[in-house]
Amino acid sequence: MSSLVGPDEDDPRGKPPVPDEVQDAIRTLIRWAGDDPEREGLLDTPARVGRAWKEYCLGYTEDPAIHLSRVFEEVGGYDEIVLLKDIPFQSHCEHHMAPIIGKAAIAYLPTNRVVGISKLARVLHGYARRLQIQERLTAEVAQCIWDHLEPRGVAVVIDANHSCMTARGVRTPGVSMVTSRVMGIFRSDHRSREEVLKLMGY
């Protein structure tokens, strides 16, 4: 039988501890919202929320460029667009800390190196798991691929719903926001841009 003694010995559930000050802050927020943080259903909520936020913001613990460090230079003469689309992601807006839920399409035109296709999604998640605005998220993903794969072109399109707009404020469910960043030949050459956007479905 494996020993229960270890880093989690103070917490039999094996979950990472949440500092008191963080839990206090969440209790304050619950009170501010109008509820009683001491009622039974809310007793474990501060710790749960604290752990959830660590998970939402896991991107702060990594440099997304790490996912582009292993490249394949044997591309068999392939010099057409590589596209990953309908990549689901979740982020949080930095203005309201509310969910941003959407999908992304990421394309590049390789020169002499490509990456495993799942790596593009990992770069997206690395930047999405932070407090963001959609415009910066789009730009950061494109720039990271541009800098580390040195492709002839990069295009990133993100289509997302912002809970701060659908669940509060003007309350307009169904409205999505689309942002794009095109670089290199996708920016300078009209036909290349049209081709990639068409492949993406835009």
Residues of the binding site: 93, 96, 164
Type and span of the H or E element at 198: helix 190-200
Q: Tokens standing for 180?
A: 């794009």
Asked if residue 93 binds Zn ion (CB under 5 A), the reply is yes
**Residue 93 · residue 166 · CB < 8 Å:** no
The question of whether 94 is a catalytic residue gets the answer yes
Nearest 5°: the CA angle 42, 172, 142 is 90
The nearer residue to Zn ion, 96 or 187, going by C-beta atoms, is 96
* Residue of 67, 92, 93, 125 marked active site: 93
Q: What x-and-dash track marks residues 132-171 binding Zn ion by CB under 5 A?
A: --------------------------------x-------
Asked if residue 100 binds Zn ion (CB under 5 A), the reply is no
Closest separation in Å from C-beta 120 to Zn ion: 26
**Residue 180 · residue 138 · CB < 8 Å:** yes
The question of whether 162 is a catalytic residue gets the answer yes
Rounded Cα distance, 126 and 108, in Å: 18
Q: Tokens standing for 114?
A: 């490509």
158: which strand partners?
A: 104, 179
Query: In this chain, which of 51, 96, 103, 193 binds Zn ion, going by CB under 5 A?
Result: 96
Query: In this chain, which of 15, 31, 39, 95 binds Zn ion, going by CB under 5 A?
Result: 95
185: Cβ–Cβ under 8 A, 6 or more apart, which residues? Answer: 109, 152, 153, 192
* Residue of 92, 125, 148, 162 marked active site: 162
By annotation, the residues acting in catalysis are: 93-96, 134, 162, 164
> Where do contacts with Zn ion occur on this chain (CB under 5 A)?
93, 95-96, 164
